[in-house]
């Protein structure tokens, strides 16, 4: 397998699958920014991912019925002059916005405040922000359904015009996360903030969900917090908050599955000293304490393991 790339420079070091013999085919250290994880030959390139997430691709096909239902519902409400239904279920707090409101003016945006949601899906998060007074913009390859109600962009504009940019479970889906982060940072006004969330690799020994971190088809890049801080530093951003306990309790049954950061532009962002170490420790600990099924799988012939992986990647995630 050729080395995947974070931006423009190739990886400086690779650990072979023999060091992490279960499902991990390669642990890569990028010379500039830290760690990237890639699965063996099943890892898709950018063109393959673009096809996968296009409006004619497998992702859109798997969600076609729901997308049609949401689109029809939104158009009916629009024809009646009604706003979309937004917010959490009755009696259930909107924990994500509540947590963000501790660090951003979510519930009282300044006049003309603009938010860009990259990978906005059907626009649910933008619906909630629009109802609070934000001017809402989105980017979504697989469906136009959100853009009955929100402005559509094809890429982050890098014009420093947005107060908030959201990358909510997007970075793990792209093969060049540094490039996307650079676009997002360039789209932020002075004083603006980036909110991002990714599957969390450095807590893998605790949550044990390897396929959530990496699965070779949809989640193609894995991140430790140290790695992500290094990537952010390379685009001039520094994390100012990490949103953990309450959101873990509400959304992932208390498991530390997700890393959620708020970051802002700073004059002198700091690069981490040992970007590889947390991911390496996590994978080593995961390999030492794996269950019997995974140990048995590691003993299977290479062709059998490859067939199982090919079968798994055909299942939408």
Integer Cα distance of 306 and 300 in angstroms:
10
Distance CA 187, CA 112 (A): 15
Q: Which two tokens stand for residue 297?
A: 């799988």
pLDDT at site 7: 42
Average pLDDT over residues 122-151: 93
167 and 194 Cβ atoms separated by less than 8 Å: yes
* Structure letter (DSSP) for residue 116: E
Query: Helix, strand or coil for residue 96?
Result: helix
Are β-strands 26-30 and 11-16 bridged in parallel, bridged antiparallel, or unpaired? antiparallel
CATH no., domain 11-313? 3.40.50.150
DSSP sequence for 262-317: EEEE-SSPPPPS-TTHHHHHHHHHHHHT--HHHHHHHTS-HHHHHHHHHHHHTS--
Of 118 and 288, the structure prediction assigns the larger pLDDT to 118
Q: What percentage of the chain's residues is helix, strand, coil (to nearest 5)?
A: 35, 20, 45
The per-type count for the chain, helices as H runs and strands as E runs, is: 13, 10
Question: How is the chain split into domains, by residue range?
Answer: 11-313
Q: Which pair of structure tokens corresponds to residue 115? A: 């938010």
Pair 294, 265: CB distance under 8 Å: no
Mean pLDDT score, 292-296: 54
The predicted pLDDT at position 95 comes to 92
Say how many C-beta atoms besides its own lie within 10 A of residue 114's C-beta.
Answer: 18
- The top-scoring range by mean pLDDT among 65-79, 204-218, 278-292 is 204-218
Q: What is the pLDDT of residue 65?
A: 78
Q: Give the pLDDT confidence score for residue 58 in this predicted structure.
A: 76
Is 70 exceeded by the pLDDT of residue 25?
A: no
More confident residue, 122 or 187: 187
> Which of 18-27, 189-198, 236-245, 294-303 shows the lowest per-residue confidence on average (mean pLDDT)?
18-27
pLDDT tier for residue 172 given thresholds of 50, 70 and 90: very high
Residue 54 phi, psi dihedral angles, 5° rounding? -70, 170
Counting residues of the chain whose pLDDT is more than 90, the rounded percentage is 47
pLDDT of 106: 97
CA distances from 213 to 5, 28, 217, 223 (A): 18, 15, 11, 8
Instruction: Report the mean per-residue pLDDT for the chain.
Output: 79
Q: Distance between CA atoms of 230 and 180, rounded to whole angstroms? A: 14
CA 187 to chain centre: 18
Q: Tell me the pLDDT band of 247, cut-offs 50, 70 and 90.
A: very high
Question: Which range, of 42-51, 138-147, 200-209, 269-278, averages the lowest pLDDT?
Answer: 42-51
Sheet-wide strand order for 26-30: 11-16, 26-30, 34-38
Confidence band (pLDDT; 50, 70, 90) for 222? confident
Res. 175 pLDDT band, cuts 50 70 90 = confident
Name which of 17-26, 78-87, 183-192, 290-299 the model is least confident about. Answer: 17-26
3 state SS of 31: coil
Residue 234, pLDDT score: 95
pLDDT of residue 47: 81
What does the pLDDT average to over 241-266?
94
Asked if the model's pLDDT at residue 293 lies above 80, the reply is no
Structure tokens at 247: 């959101």
């Amino acid at each position: 397998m050729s080395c995947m790339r974070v931006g423009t420079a190739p990886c400086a070091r690779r650990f072979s699958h023999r060091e992490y013999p279960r499902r991990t085919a390669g642990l890569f250290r990028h010379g500039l920014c830290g760690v990237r994880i890639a699965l063996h030959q099943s890892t898709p390139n950018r063109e393959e991912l673009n096809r996968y997430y296009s409006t004619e691709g497998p992702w859109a096909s798997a969600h076609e019925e729901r997308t049609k239902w949401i689109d029809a519902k939104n158009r009916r409400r629009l024809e009646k002059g009604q706003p979309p239904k937004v917010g959490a279920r009755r009696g259930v707090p909107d924990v994500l916005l509540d947590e963000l409101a501790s660090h951003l003016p979510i519930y009282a945006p300044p006049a003309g405040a603009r938010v860009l949601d990259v990978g906005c899906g059907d626009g649910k998060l933008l619906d909630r922000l629009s109802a609070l007074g934000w001017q809402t913009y989105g980017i979504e390859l697989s469906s136009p359904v959100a853009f009955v109600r929100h402005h559509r962009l094809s890429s982050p504009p890098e014009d420093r015009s947005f107060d908030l940019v959201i990358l909510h479970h997007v970075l793990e889906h792209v093969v060049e996360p540094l490039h996307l982060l650079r676009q997002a940072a360039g789209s932020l006004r002075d004083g603006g903030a980036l909110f991002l969330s990714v599957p969390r690799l450095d807590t893998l020994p605790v949550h044990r969900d390897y396929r959530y971190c990496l699965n070779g088809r949809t989640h193609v890049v894995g991140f430790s917090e140290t790695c992500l801080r290094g990537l952010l530093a390379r685009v001039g951003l520094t994390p100012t908050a990490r949103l953990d306990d309450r959101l873990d309790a509400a959304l992932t049954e208390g498991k530390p599955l997700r890393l959620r950061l708020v970051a802002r532009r700073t004059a002198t962002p700091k690069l981490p000293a040992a970007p590889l170490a947390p991911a390496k420790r996590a994978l080593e600990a995961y390999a030492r304490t794996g269950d019997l099924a995974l140990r048995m799988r590691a003993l299977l012939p290479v062709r059998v393991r490859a067939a199982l992986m090919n079968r798994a990647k055909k299942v939408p995630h």
